[in-house]
Structure 1
Amino acid sequence: MPEIAVRKYAVTVEEIHHEGGPAAAVPLKRGAALAVIANPYAGRYVEDIQGFMDDLKPFGLAMAQRLLAAMGGDAKAIQGYGKGAIVGAAGELEHGALWHVPGGYAMRELLGDAKAIVPSTKKVGGPGTRLDIPVTHINASYVRSHFDAFEIGITDAPKADELLFALVMTTGSRIHARVGGLKASEIKGEDGLR
């Protein structure tokens, strides 16, 4: 299988105290870890690409650990997550789909067997392309207070023959969440939805 050739990493963490209303008792942290790697399939169609997904699994776990460390290191503090990929122009959208298992399962494992599916998005784009990564609660996708998105991107990535992979974590609901729905305190934990 192809070797993972990393060009760069980036990690960013926001600390949100308020969104125009009263300051939160505990600020919300939202963070993203990004990696830009060579796309081993750029410029050509390859039928069997699934093996690279297995190669990416340790890489996904290392990225999740990097992000968790930047968020303070406490897996129990993480309440939301998401993932995404931007494929350079010489690749195809399916190359971004290779991130589903390595990115998603890595975060679920690291966060104590989280129940909810990790929401995801992907697209093809050039350097500077931005991507809004959806975020949901780690144990119940229907917790409305945790519906969010985190915009990611790197000025010089991805180049045509690269992939940009991203993971996102949050420590809570949107600041001032107040539109009803299932609350985190009401999660039953049966199916990853409620």
Structure 2
Amino acid sequence: MPDIAIRKSTLCVEEIFHEFGPPPPKPLLRAAAISVIENPYAGRYVEEIAVFMDDLKILGLKMANDLVAALGGDPKNIEAYGKGAIVGAAGELEHGALWHVPGGYAMREVLGGAKAIVPSAKKVGGVGARLDVPITHIDASYVRGHFDAMEVGVPDGPRASELAFVLVMTTGGRVHDRVGGLRVEDVKGEDGLR
């Protein structure tokens, strides 16, 4: 089973005060954690890769805890999340899919059993590639005001033989959301949808 070789980690926090309208009562916080690791499968086809997901669970939990800390330290402050992966050019898209379980379940665990599926994006890209990570409400995917994305990347990665795994959390929906749909106060949180 491969070990995780981390080259670098980044943590980015955005504080959004307004979107041309009146300032909200408190700024929206969005944060992204990125870990750039060696891809143990780069440059070759390997049939059985799923075992690496077990190794990645610890990384997922660390990144999820780092995000909660960066957003105030209380998991109850988190309203939305997303995940993603950028695969270096010597890897294949399926290597990014290894992040689905360890990244998604880590956030759901740290947030106390969030109900909604964690949206995801992945791609193969070169050094400096950017990724728009989709974001939805943690308990109800139909909360339209929380449909969002956060652009992420690292200037010097991923290198061809690396993977950049990403987790994103926010403290709310879009500032000034006003296009209708399910409201946060109406969430039942039973099925991950409503």
TM range (shorter): over 0.9
- The whole-number CA distance in structure 1 between the counterparts of 2:55 and 2:114 is 22
TM-score (norm 2): 0.99
Equivalence for 1:76: 76
Q: 1:140 Cα shift?
A: 0.3
Equivalence for 2:191: 191
Equivalence for 2:148: 148
Equivalence for 2:181: 181
Letter matched to residue 124 of structure 2: V
Structure 1 runs not aligned, ≥5 long: none
- The whole-number CA distance in structure 1 between the counterparts of 2:80 and 2:189 is 15
Q: SS in structure 2 opposite 1:177?
A: coil
Q: 1:156 Cα shift?
A: 0.6
Q: 1:190 Cα shift?
A: 1.8
Structure 1 residues 93-114: Cα deviation after superposition (integer angstroms, max 9, x where no partner): 0000000000000000000100
Equivalence for 1:108: 108
- The whole-number CA distance in structure 2 between the counterparts of 1:45 and 1:52 is 14
Equivalence for 1:10: 10
- The whole-number CA distance in structure 2 between the counterparts of 1:21 and 1:139 is 27
- The whole-number CA distance in structure 2 between the counterparts of 1:80 and 1:52 is 27
TM-score (norm 1): 0.99
1:11-90 correspondence to structure 2 within 5 Å: 11-90=11-90
- The whole-number CA distance in structure 1 between the counterparts of 2:184 and 2:100 is 25
Q: SS in structure 1 opposite 2:61?
A: helix
Letter matched to residue 127 of structure 1: V
Structure 2 runs not aligned, ≥5 long: none
Q: 1:72 Cα shift?
A: 1.2
- The whole-number CA distance in structure 1 between the counterparts of 2:71 and 2:25 is 18
- The whole-number CA distance in structure 2 between the counterparts of 1:66 and 1:185 is 27
Letter matched to residue 133 of structure 2: I
Letter matched to residue 158 of structure 2: P
- The whole-number CA distance in structure 2 between the counterparts of 1:184 and 1:157 is 37
- Taking only the aligned residue pairs, the percentage that are identical comes to 71
- The whole-number CA distance in structure 2 between the counterparts of 1:189 and 1:128 is 38
Letter matched to residue 8 of structure 1: K
Root-mean-square deviation (CA, aligned residues, Å) is 0.5
Q: 1:61 Cα shift?
A: 0.3
Letter matched to residue 185 of structure 2: S
Q: 1:145 Cα shift?
A: 0.4
- The whole-number CA distance in structure 2 between the counterparts of 1:75 and 1:163 is 27
Count of aligned residue pairs for this structure pair: 194
Letter matched to residue 44 of structure 2: R
